[in-house]
A and B are shown apart, each in its own frame.
Chain A
Amino acid sequence: MSIELVLRLVVLLGAFVWAGFRFEQLARPLLAAPAEARLRPFLPRAWGVVVNILGHARLMRKPYSGLMHMMMLFGFLFLLTAVMQVFGEGVSPLFTLAAIGGRTWIALGQDVFAVLLLTGVAMATYQRVVWKPARFVGSNQRDAAIILSLISAVVVGMLLQNSCHLAAGRDALAAWRPVSSAIASVLVACGVTGAIAIAGATAFAWMHMLAILAFLVYIPGSKHLHVIVGVPNVYFRDLNSAGRLVTPDLEQPKLGLSDIAQLGRKQALDLYACTECGRCQELCPAYASGKPLSPKLLIMNMRDHLLEAQGAGGHREGAGGPLIGGAISEETIWSCTTCRACMEACPLFIEHVPKIVDMRRHLSMEAGRVPDGISGAMLSVEQRGHPWAGTRFSRLDWCRDLDVRVLAPGETTDTLLWVGCTAAFDARAQKVARALVRLLHGAGVDFAILGDAESCTGDAARRTGNDYLFQLQASANVETLNTRAFRRIVSICPHCVNTLKNEYPDFGGSYDVVHHSQLLGELMGQGHLRSMLRGDREALAITFHDPCYLGRYNGEFEAPRAVLAGAGAAIAEMERSHGRSFCCGGGGGRAFAVEPPDQRVNVLRATQARATSAAVVATACPFCLLMLDDGCKAVARLEGDSTPLQQVRDIAEILDDAMRVADETRAPT
């Protein structure tokens, strides 16, 4: 056995042991963490891996980065053959892949993919050094630089190793290694032949091997860990409907996440999977408004905290200092609007919102520390069944002069109109409920409301971590609903729709729930309302704001647009629309929170709406309505307009306006 071989074996073994130790350290918290039932169903999970990892579905939303990643991923995968060779030859000089084409197409592939990989590295370097998109702010740039250097070293080492072999004339594969051959001819021209070339081959083989081993050892502490946990993280992704948060058992000793050791296995895996790409940060409204939350930094900080806790005493509670107030500030936790833009963007399906809500659960249900406005609203839900303490209306005031039936227990209706608290108690939002009632009358729909029996669905309670209150509300509402008969529920509020549809099944209430945009779309499709449209309508320039809980949460982007188009609107889309829509700032209980004047999400969204020059900002959610109304007024003030350039209106109001029938219940606008 040559000394070199012994040395190679020793180095290999050393690197494996070292890397193994580092991986073991990482694996420990995962193994100790409670498992989440995410193994099955196999097929949809595996298909997601194929589509998103091999197919780059989410990554390709950024073509430059997507292409770059594709070249690097497939390059990396193919060069695993070279890695095999290195390790194989490290153990035995007789190792060869010739049997499966190591001397033919694998050799060719190695050359081709090496070039692709290097191109990817060059693109990445250009992006990080020259282009510097804002999504990288806060990412570990040193880590990225080290990774890119190591990749380059691996590839360059391999290419030069092969080139030297060719230059030394010891390799008959010139035809299968076009790139290496080209380099070899340069080397030969420079006088690198014979013994020098042989020595070079050995040296570059070492470089190749050392770079691979360095990569292996380096990976466990780096964002590049995603090459290993990416696949399982996508496989174990949440397959539930987006709008369903896990219902916690309130009797368990610890409620909510206050210690990193409580994280479930997939939640912990998420932390390792983050590539610090910042796609989430780029879309986060809280981050954009200058609040201390960036979903990327949230994940990174939790990861660092997990590793610190691991270093400071293994996987036990309290190790490594406090999570809340230490690694993650309370202000950060409360800044989230639960808009889900981050989760939709993340190529690794990391779950930010459940983690944030889980920490809120601790703050709300154990520590009793909830920001003023939110705690007041939740206390009001508890005391009076709606969050709008101080309203001068009672629940039925909005429809006293309209012909609306209140459904008593035991009675039947076709469509149950779930009004929602905002549309019942807020003077502005009441107009939406009134417009919808006129449309339903016009279309001859048999509908009724619950009246005083309706109580807050508890969406804001759940999303601000007060699951106790949410569960009380849910149980009470399910009981109310189950004593009445109806075919389906329609609601004006996407938050109500989401909760009724996706979260009440946990409480014994499974209903067919639609949003009023969907119902109106359906009625128009059946021709019910079309015949009543006024003929003399002018086409209105309208921009549509996708409510998060309608769009991203429940996948409905087209119905509200169809209603607007039916009402004769010309839709001018905002820069951020559909799945990339920018939250109004009102979700996740933020509609009740005190927003610092210079950090208002609604002002940012109103600015985006203004950029379309549309006369009307349409939306389909009462929270969005109130937030955008306020935002448009604020923007008008900032811009020095006398009156807001844009009116904020619900799609139902716009459609109602387009109707032929004059009606005295229609308030003058």
Chain B
Amino acid sequence: MAGILIVAEVDAGVLRPEYWELATVARAVSASIPGGVSVAVIGADVAAAAQQAAGIGPDTLHVIDDERLANPWPEAHAAALIQLCGELSPQMVLAPRSILGAEIAARLAVRCGWPLLQDVVQIEATPDGGLQAVRPVSGGAVAATVRIGAGPWVVVPRPRAFAPAAASAVAEITPTRHAFAPPPFATACGTPQRVAVQGLSVDRAKIVVAGGGGLGGPEPFTLLREVAALVGGAVGASRVAVDSGWVQSTMQVGLTGKTIAPDLYIAVGISGAIQHLVGCSSSQVIVAVNSDPAAPIFGIANYGVVGDCKEVMTAFRDTLATRAAQAGRAV
């Protein structure tokens, strides 16, 4: 019987960054959950990703590598995970709260009849062999502490709520390969149409410059992209900007977008509705640029600028550009 099974999601050949956070959670509770830490790598052509995943030094590494797992097809990925769990009988399954990860976690929990702990920001094992966790509810307005008895459990931690574990270059471990033997599929999927994201994607960047309804249209986003390029960050957006069709939905931050915790979050023309704050309030430093001094975003910002976004950000960009050019000359 395995103790903790971490789902290492591979997205387009790349190991998703949440994996390192899941490892932190696993390490924190592994003392109370006997059976060691295992990793499940599911996908097609995942050898490189599996190699990388081994970096946390798991006790065992399981791989299902199959053509049918090439696309983020929930039913197939869930079948693979359910198959592995059948073979390994883990006590706790840790899955990332990504679109695919959250889904296969839910499918696993329901199929196996295991309790699911969604969106966990704190977790600990209780002396009686159960778990206690904290999770935000009501769009983050309330934090609920929940408790559950003996496992197995499926746990989906909130992205960025836990520090990523460092890869400790330990001895090579040989992955256990499992042949994929799914039941007949009831759904079918096409090939993903991926929108080329300009620059970094918001959930990977250390600095995010996000625009909202205050930008008034798609054009000022060019300015934000230039700033992002200068500071090595990504461009994000509020739902108003996305719903207005100014930018792609992949850039949306918030309850129904991405939950991010960059080192620096610059919110430009974003009012700071609670559903938006949910996605960004754990950022290290928050800067708000808004023409309305009473905008709620200032309530959670470290630095605030009351002013017109175009004016402020144009000068901001120009100053950074000048400094960068000076720095370039100095080198």
Contact = CB atoms under 8 A, between A and B. Distances in A.
Contacts of A266: none
Contacts of B299: 392
A390 B294 CA distance: 13
Given A390-B271, A427-B294, A428-B294, 4 more contacts: A390-B296, A392-B299, A597-B216, A637-B311
A515 interface: no
B291 interface: yes
Given A426-B294, A427-B294, A390 B216 contact: no
B12 interface: no
B273 interface: yes
A637 B310 CA distance: 11
A633 B291 CA distance: 9
B-side interface size class: under 10
Considering the complex of A and B, which 9 residue pairs feature the smallest CB-CB distances, nearest first? A427-B294, A392-B296, A390-B273, A428-B294, A637-B308, A597-B216, A633-B291, A637-B311, A390-B271
Contacts of A392: 296, 299
Nearest to A390: B273
Interface string A4-25: 0000000000000000000000
7 contacts: A390-B296, A392-B296, A427-B294, A428-B294, A630-B291, A633-B291, A637-B308
Contacts of A426: 294
A386 to B, nearest CB: 16
Interface in A166-217: none
Contacts of A597: 216
Nearest to B296: A392
Contacts of B294: 426-428
Contacts, number: 13
A427 B273 CA distance: 15
A613 B308 CA distance: 24
Interface string B271-288: 101000000000000000
Interface in A542-599: 597
A190 B308 CA distance: 77
B289 to A, nearest CB: 14
B14 to A, nearest CB: 37
Nearest to A427: B294
Interface of A: 390, 392, 426-428, 597, 630, 633, 637
Nearest to A429: B294
Interface in B206-231: 216
A427 B291 CA distance: 14
A633 B290 CA distance: 13
Contacts of B291: 630, 633
Contacts of A630: 291
Interface string B308-324: 10010000000000000
Interface string B290-310: 010010100100000000100
A639 B295 CA distance: 24
Taking each of B271, B291, B299, B311, which has the highest tally of chain A beta carbons within 10 Å of its own beta carbon? B291
A390 B311 CA distance: 26
B308 to A, nearest CB: 6
Contacts of A390: 271, 273, 296
A640 to B, nearest CB: 10
A630 B291 CA distance: 9
A597 B271 CA distance: 18
A557 to B, nearest CB: 30
Contacts of B311: 637
A630 B295 CA distance: 13
Contacts of B216: 597
B192 to A, nearest CB: 31
A626 to B, nearest CB: 10
Contacts of A633: 291
A597 B216 CA distance: 8
B7 to A, nearest CB: 36
A656 B34 CA distance: 70
A630 B290 CA distance: 12
A591 to B, nearest CB: 14
A129 B136 CA distance: 72
Nearest to A373: B213
B269 to A, nearest CB: 12
Nearest to A389: B273
Nearest to B271: A390
Contacts of A637: 308, 311
A390 B239 CA distance: 14
A141 to B, nearest CB: 38
Most buried by A among B271, B296, B311: B296
A392 B139 CA distance: 14
A236 to B, nearest CB: 45
A597 B219 CA distance: 14
Nearest to B291: A633
A390 B273 CA distance: 6
Nearest to B243: A372
Nearest to B273: A390
A597 B273 CA distance: 23
Nearest to B244: A372
A427 B296 CA distance: 10
A426 B292 CA distance: 11
A32 B216 CA distance: 47
A426 to B, nearest CB: 7
A390 B240 CA distance: 13
Contacts of B271: 390
A556 to B, nearest CB: 29
A329 B291 CA distance: 32
A380 to B, nearest CB: 13
B202 to A, nearest CB: 22
Contacts of B296: 390, 392
Most chain A C-beta atoms within 10 Å of own C-beta, residue among B271, B291, B294: B294
A390 B292 CA distance: 14
Contacts of B273: 390
A5 to B, nearest CB: 75
A428 B291 CA distance: 14
Nearest to A392: B296
B84 to A, nearest CB: 44
A402 to B, nearest CB: 19
A392 B298 CA distance: 12
Interface string B26-48: 00000000000000000000000
Nearest to A430: B294
Contacts of A427: 294
A392 B271 CA distance: 11
A593 B311 CA distance: 24
B246 to A, nearest CB: 13
